[in-house]
Structure 1
């Protein structure tokens, strides 16, 4: 029988086909509706149909026409099932049009056997669906493929501690070790990492969400996402990088924080700095980093300031990290809080020499953490000294605001001495340091007085005189605090205090020796049970 090509079909503007209207209409409800009322004039005229969104494009249309011309005599395999199913639905090739053969029914039967498809066939089918994702997703094919794919991953992981691919994995492992991943418990090869890297971010998003719902280990999922974004960035446009980053960050944000590497998050932060990420994406990325700030290093924090900022480093970013850390419960763990305190002290020393760093930003850094984050304020003081030296033009009030962050009680004796001699430090701060040291002296005198009740190597009158003189000195000094004091007087007074500390340390040393003899005597004496209080520490 002679076949008349009386229909011209433009497929998505890519290719034009000349086909038989009668043959295709006998299988396609969509075409049958277009030519529902044929006329004699139309029978002798070549008609034209244009499809703008035909799933699978020209290749899928050609495959469909072969099905129609052979009266369903083509082989349906895992390779063409998805595209045939989608174009069959698009062309309305249901049993209402042709009871046998029915392309929709045939492809659905093929999908029922998806459990027996090989791993490669499953991945390729999903990759194929990316070309016509809306149609494949709405038809339900994507969900079936994802369910099978994730099930294959979890089953393989559960049955073997080393992980296993559904087919020929032994050979692939012996030849390719690029997917080797080290975990806390053991080393194993995550066989599916490289196979899924070929998929786009939309497919990955659906896969990961399915994995999370099926309780796949979050640490493994996290490592894959970092591996995925690293591979995708090698040959991608700026827009593709942006979309990939936003999808990956969104997926990482849904995982347990403990399963996400802080170091790798900083890696994403750096490579995406020029991508103009959405505000939500950037906020989530910074929040994840901030919640694990105690795991960061100084190099991680040294992020260059964005264009338009005069300072060298992005101080605002670090302040947001600290805020996220505290809001995420960082204060609950004293150890983690002190680790962040040490990190910020290192950062302060690094940014202090920056002549463009404004005082409000520097002050914000010094007061960003609670006092419990530092056992000593020596490092902070040293950073402040550097900042004041670089910013010599600051007013006395600005200097005072900067120095307010220093807790003089947490300064060592050497730092107190340096502070009082430092002409760049406001006098009021120097006075506070002296007061702090006076209080330490008073505490030391009280401890010494407590020791006297046991056995003092000094004569009672001499000891009482020393203690009285020091006590009067503290009281007299405190009364003069509100009066203006010259810097030279402060220096001289500090020198006198240092001598007093040295004298008291010698006294304590002598007392320890004396008490050691007393304790030795009491221990050797029978029936002795009197406890001895703690001496000077």
Structure 2
């Protein structure tokens, strides 16, 4: 025993007192008092809250079986077996390790306590009991050698997978890390591990911008350390951690000035699942007095860049399909996340565009990260461009042209095209492009309706010819009541051609003082076919005809003969644009 080694056996004088200093005894004076009572066979209380300390004290004092049967080491070891049978007692034992951590770790008590918690956390909740008692109740203190407190009934444990989150969130960081490593090695579902880490982070970090009332007070250095450790504990699987939570960690890392490597990890994690983010989450304020813009544009740009890198890697491994403009785009399965990110970036640009300190280069660099195929419509980017032009009226025409190249005028909706055609902030070239493509769209629609009308009339003639041959009981061809009647088609065609005529009038007003038609269409890079009328019409002015075929007008007259007459003066009959010869 240690005391025998410290007190010399042969003293110079009989009965001389010897003073032994035990400053290093685990648990201090309280633990030594318990040991003294144990030696004099005084009944004491051994609980889950002191068994680890007493086990360490017994180890320090060398109170093993060599000095007597049933010594303190033997008694505490037997009691630990009972403690490890209960979740709550195991948790109390882990907390007791804090005061005697070094010696407890040396004799493997810490690992045994953590292992007990990990096994129970990985087990089915229904198979767990708070204490090995027939009634299922948990005593506040398990009694030893005759003393103990009265048992109190416990509430039934929540049977969900997160039943242990709140319990382990009270552990110190180094203990919690060891528990996470233990449950990971046992193959716990990463989603459950992620849920526990998020619960732990919410308890100690001000993720919502301010500290909670119940949040322990800690220094800034401790919070930085905690943040970096939590980021390192997060499971690597994509989508396990909500993007909203990762963005909260990003904000805290910027406020606390965490290590750049920690921020880089968060940016990559956020970028890999950016399609699940919301606009309010990526509005990260700029930190520091040297910041020029209200929001941290550079951070968002890096996140979007990480997303596009990951998306391109996935696209390379999947099949591609060819579209009309000879541009390779990913298949529809891969297109959905990219489209969601495109909408997110467009909304973000519209949100930050009013900032007068936002430079054009930053706006362009962020917007250009999104490929054109990811936007089914360019209404979002047009809205952002319009807001930026309104907040930055000093831009030159060249800069406006450069900004407007971000959008495709052919992919604007009818509402956006109408707005753009009347938008004085846009360059003239862009307005003319919008008007031209809108007129081209209307002509295509008109031509398509005439084609459908001709097909329906042919199907009516065909049905009348083969009608008598169709036997009863077979599928009948319904001509009298088609899904879209010919009259409805004529009405739609008339409406579309009226819109086309109005669009032409808008163009004429727009370029009234801007030169001839040839100069405008040269700006667009278009060529128009010029023809002259022969015979008696050779004195008439030259006319420029559009690509609308003459067959369409024959179909129009033919359709008009069977129903309502379509008047030539109400539609854009010849589709000609006259200019002075």
Range into which the TM-score falls when normalised by the shorter chain: 0.5 to 0.7
- For 1:326 and 1:280, the matched residues in 2 are separated by 20
For residue 294 of structure 1, what is the aligned residue in structure 2? Answer: 275
1:128 paired to 2:96: yes
For residue 350 of structure 1, what is the aligned residue in structure 2? Answer: 351
For residue 339 of structure 1, what is the aligned residue in structure 2? Answer: 340
For residue 309 of structure 1, what is the aligned residue in structure 2? Answer: 291
How far is the alpha carbon of 1:70 from its aligned partner? 3.3
- For 2:172 and 2:374, the matched residues in 1 are separated by 44
- For 1:173 and 1:295, the matched residues in 2 are separated by 38
How far is the alpha carbon of 1:283 from its aligned partner? 2.9
Contact 1:311 1:354 in 2 (8 A): yes
- For 1:315 and 1:136, the matched residues in 2 are separated by 50
Aligned residues: 439
- For 2:196 and 2:96, the matched residues in 1 are separated by 22
How far is the alpha carbon of 1:351 from its aligned partner? 0.9
Contact 1:156 1:164 in 2 (8 A): no
Distance verdict in 2 for CA 1:165–1:45, change over 3 Å: closer
For residue 324 of structure 1, what is the aligned residue in structure 2? Answer: 306
> Which runs of structure 2 are paired with 1:155-166 in the superposition (5 Å)?
155-157=123-125, 159=127
SS at structure 2 position matched to 1:274: helix
How far is the alpha carbon of 1:512 from its aligned partner? 13
Q: 1:222 aligns with which of 194, 204, 219?
A: 194
Q: 1:242 aligns with which of 217, 224, 229?
A: 224
For residue 379 of structure 1, what is the aligned residue in structure 2? Answer: 380
- For 2:279 and 2:90, the matched residues in 1 are separated by 45
RMSD: 4.6
Query: What does the per-residue CA deviation read over 1:68-105, in whole Å, with 9 as the maximum and x for residues that have no partner?
Result: x5389867554433112333444555567x46565445
Query: What does the per-residue CA deviation read over 1:165-201, in whole Å, with 9 as the maximum and x for residues that have no partner?
Result: 5554996547xxxx97xxxxxx948433332232112
Gaps of 5+ in 1: 1-22, 181-186, 459-469, 484-498, 519-537
For residue 532 of structure 1, what is the aligned residue in structure 2? Answer: none
More divergent stretch after superposition (415-424 vs 374-383)? 415-424
Gaps of 5+ in 2: 139-151, 206-214, 316-333, 459-485, 491-503, 505-515, 527-544, 564-581
1:83 paired to 2:65: no
Contact 1:380 1:406 in 2 (8 A): yes
Contact 1:298 1:347 in 2 (8 A): yes
How far is the alpha carbon of 1:378 from its aligned partner? 1.4
Distance verdict in 2 for CA 1:102–1:206, change over 3 Å: same
> Which runs of structure 2 are paired with 1:483-494 in the superposition (5 Å)?
none
How far is the alpha carbon of 1:476 from its aligned partner? 9.2
For residue 7 of structure 1, what is the aligned residue in structure 2? Answer: none
- For 1:242 and 1:43, the matched residues in 2 are separated by 59
How far is the alpha carbon of 1:359 from its aligned partner? 1.6
- For 1:317 and 1:61, the matched residues in 2 are separated by 57
Query: What does the per-residue CA deviation read over 1:380-431, in whole Å, with 9 as the maximum and x for residues that have no partner?
Result: 1111111012112233443333223212332235544544554433455456
- For 1:433 and 1:38, the matched residues in 2 are separated by 109
How far is the alpha carbon of 1:125 from its aligned partner? 0.3
For residue 409 of structure 1, what is the aligned residue in structure 2? Answer: 410
Contact 1:114 1:148 in 2 (8 A): no
Distance verdict in 2 for CA 1:391–1:336, change over 3 Å: same
TM-score (norm 1): 0.66
Q: 1:59 aligns with which of 30, 40, 60?
A: 30
Contact 2:65 2:71 in 1 (8 A): yes
- For 2:308 and 2:137, the matched residues in 1 are separated by 49
How far is the alpha carbon of 1:236 from its aligned partner? 2.7
Distance verdict in 2 for CA 1:480–1:156, change over 3 Å: closer
- For 1:401 and 1:62, the matched residues in 2 are separated by 83
Query: What does the per-residue CA deviation read over 1:248-304, in whole Å, with 9 as the maximum and x for residues that have no partner?
Result: 33222x253333223333444445553333333333333333333222222212222
- For 1:445 and 1:91, the matched residues in 2 are separated by 99
Contact 1:419 1:430 in 2 (8 A): yes
How far is the alpha carbon of 1:111 from its aligned partner? 3.5
Distance verdict in 2 for CA 1:421–1:100, change over 3 Å: same
For residue 362 of structure 1, what is the aligned residue in structure 2? Answer: 363
- For 1:373 and 1:42, the matched residues in 2 are separated by 96
Distance verdict in 2 for CA 1:475–1:244, change over 3 Å: same
For residue 396 of structure 2, what is the aligned residue in structure 1? Answer: 395
Distance verdict in 2 for CA 1:211–1:74, change over 3 Å: same
Contact 2:378 2:407 in 1 (8 A): yes
Distance verdict in 2 for CA 1:281–1:481, change over 3 Å: closer
Q: 1:140 aligns with which of 101, 108, 113?
A: 108
- For 2:558 and 2:155, the matched residues in 1 are separated by 70
Distance verdict in 2 for CA 1:435–1:61, change over 3 Å: farther
Q: 1:210 aligns with which of 182, 185, 196?
A: 182
